[in-house]
Amino acid sequence: MNFEKRPALALFYCQNTPGSSEQDRQSLEMQYGSSLRLFPIQCSGRLDPLHIMKALEEFADAAYVVTCPKGACRYFEGNRRASKRVARSKTVISGIGLEEERIGIIIRSKDDRKSLEDISKEIMDHISKIPPSPVFQKVI
């Protein structure tokens, strides 16, 4: 089921992701408008669950994290930390009645040459199947 409104996505990504230069980021934000907000981070392991929750509370229907490949993290275990934090965030939103699919993580592989644009498109296609966030529904 596709919904009329395009979902809003907060995408946190490791700066080691191919196609993640400032020019690429600006191009993607122009292409998707307010439906996509990109947040480059030095390491996905530095992302706190609070960042994910804040995005879901303020503007996003979904929040995803893109990490560097396993074994290629310049800080050694950043993508492992990010995985644990995303799992914790999923548990929290599930506990308050939201779908776990609103939060996700893409752990790159060394063979994966997809650009940030390709990844963004795949995630946007995936989250278009979930209903708009009830957080933003007006209560009368």
Q: What is the pLDDT of residues 74-103, one digit of tens each?
A: 788 888 899 999 999 999 999 999 999 999
Q: What is the 3-state secondary structure (H, E, C) of 39-62?
A: EEECCHHHCCHHHHHHHHHHCCCE
Give me the CATH number covering residue 83: 3.40.50
Query: In the chain, how many domains are there?
Result: 1
Report the predicted TM-score, pTM, of the whole model to 2 decimal places: 0.89
Q: With respect to residue 131, please indicate whether it lies within any of the assigned structural domains.
A: yes
* Predicted local confidence at residue 62, as pLDDT: 97
- Structural domain including 128 reads 9-136
